């Protein structure tokens, strides 16, 4: 029962409390670059979520059965980067074949998933937090959903800003950064929720 409650806690914390973009400030490049429209933002969020889950599974198995088994832990970063780059190439090919409209909409930002620090960050955090494979998958999926939530919320706000008469000095990137800051402050309201849930679940 404690294991299930711990998984629920991982989900809530990853999506709301330690949101990968708004609390940990990872993946800012696509967050700002592909958030002008809700449809492209949601597509990017889903692509990142898929890569996160697959990359976490593969990197976890490599860490446990290759790096740890042969004493090659010092190669973790290089190995993980190579795996993530290969996975992104596969996702890019699949999207180009199955969803050409989304592929065109994402444009240059799709290859940039390779250098999206949240992918590598989550893969490393799963190992550092000493999660097992299931916990790692849940954490990666929840982090991806948190990224998707932040992207969609921010894109919705930016779409609304297009309908508002913004002063010229704030038009474009400045008002986007102000909006992102306010959104991050709003998510700060979830801070401390994890501690309360641990007490509620009897995990502390």
| pLDDT tens digits, one per residue of 86-112 | 888 887 888 788 888 777 766 666 677
Q: What share of the chain is helix, strand, coil (3-state, %, to 5)?
A: 80, 0, 20
CA neighbor of 125 nearest in space, from 79, 195, 76: 76
Q: How many CB atoms lie within 10 A of CB 53?
A: 19
CB-based burial, 5-34: b 16+ in 10 Å, e otherwise: ebbebbbbbbbbbbbbbbbbebbeebbbeb
pLDDT digits (tens, 9 = 90+) for 25-67: 888 888 888 888 898 888 888 888 888 998 999 999 999 999 9
The model's pTM is: 0.90
Task: Report how far Cα 167 is from the mean position of its chain's Cα atoms.
Answer: 32
Residue 66 neighbours by CB under 8 Å, 6+ apart: 72, 79
Q: Which two tokens stand for residue 121?
A: 């960050």
């Amino acid at each position: 029962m404690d294991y299930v409650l711990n998984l629920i806690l991982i989900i809530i914390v990853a999506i709301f409390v330690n949101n990968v973009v708004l609390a940990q400030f990872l993946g800012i490049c696509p967050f700002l670059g592909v958030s002008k429209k809700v449809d492209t933002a949601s597509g990017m969020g889903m692509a990142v979520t898929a890569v996160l889950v697959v990359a976490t599974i593969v990197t976890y198995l490599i860490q446990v059965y290759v790096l740890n088994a042969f004493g090659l832990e010092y190669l973790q970063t290089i190995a993980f980067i190579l795996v993530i780059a290969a996975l992104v190439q596969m996702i890019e090919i699949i999207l180009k074949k199955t969803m050409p409209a989304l592929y065109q909409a994402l444009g240059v930002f799709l290859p940039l998933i390779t250098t999206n620090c949240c992918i590598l960050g989550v893969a490393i955090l799963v190992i550092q937090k000493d999660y097992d494979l299931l916990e790692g998958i849940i954490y990666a999926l929840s982090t991806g959903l948190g990224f998707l939530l932040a992207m969609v919320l921010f894109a919705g706000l930016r779409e609304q800003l297009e309908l508002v008469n913004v002063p010229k000095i704030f038009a474009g990137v400045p008002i986007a950064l102000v909006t992102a800051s306010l959104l991050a402050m709003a998510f700060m309201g979830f801070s401390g929720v994890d501690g309360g849930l641990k007490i509620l679940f009897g995990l502390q």
